[in-house]
Amino acid sequence: MTILADDGPRLLRGGPIATALREQVAQDVVVFREERGYTPALAVVVVGRDAPSAVYLHKILDGCRLVGIEDRLVELPAESSADELGAAIRGLGDDPQVAGIITQMPLPPGIPLRTVIDNLDPLRDIDGIHPVNAGLLSLGYEGFLPATAHASVEILLRSGIELAGRHAVVIGRSNVVGKPTALLLLREDATVTVAHSRTRDLAAITRTADIVVIAVGKPGFLTADMLKPGAVVVDVGINVVDGKLTGDVDFASAARVASAITPVPGGVGPLTNAILLRHLMEAARGLASGRMPPGTRSLAATTPEVR
pLDDT digits (tens, 9 = 90+) for 186-236: 999 999 999 999 999 999 999 999 999 999 999 999 999 999 999 999 999
CA 144 – CA 9 distance, rounded (Å): 32
The alpha carbon of residue 134 and the mean position of all alpha carbons in its chain are separated, in whole angstroms, by 14
Instruction: CATH number of the domain at 238, please.
Output: 3.40.50.720
Determine the average pLDDT of the residues in 121-132.
96
Determine the average pLDDT of the residues in 130-142.
93
Residue 58 lies in a domain: no
DSSP code, position 150: H
What digits encode the pLDDT tens for the residues 45-69?
A: 999 876 556 667 788 989 999 999 9
By percentage, how much of the chain surpasses pLDDT 90? 81
Residues 6 or more apart whose Cβ sits within 8 Å of residue 126: 42, 99, 100, 101, 102, 144, 147, 276, 279, 280, 282, 283, 295
User: Structure pTM?
Assistant: 0.90
Q: How confident is the model at residue 105 (pLDDT cuts 50, 70, 90)?
A: confident
Residue type, 231: A
The total number of structural domains in the chain stands at 1
* Residues of the domain holding 251: 146-268
Residue 150 lies in a domain: yes
Residue 185 lies in a domain: yes
- Contact present, 287 and 261 (Cβ < 8 Å): no
Residue 281 lies in a domain: no
Confidence at residue 54, expressed as pLDDT on a 0 to 100 scale? 67
Residue 33 lies in a domain: no
Angle between helices 15-36 and 268-289 (to 10 degrees): 20
Confidence at residue 225, expressed as pLDDT on a 0 to 100 scale? 97
- The lowest-confidence range among 76-80, 126-130, 207-211, 300-304 is 300-304
Residue 170 lies in a domain: yes
User: Is residue 269 scored above 80 in pLDDT?
Assistant: yes
Residue 24 lies in a domain: no
User: Is residue 126 scored above 90 in pLDDT?
Assistant: yes
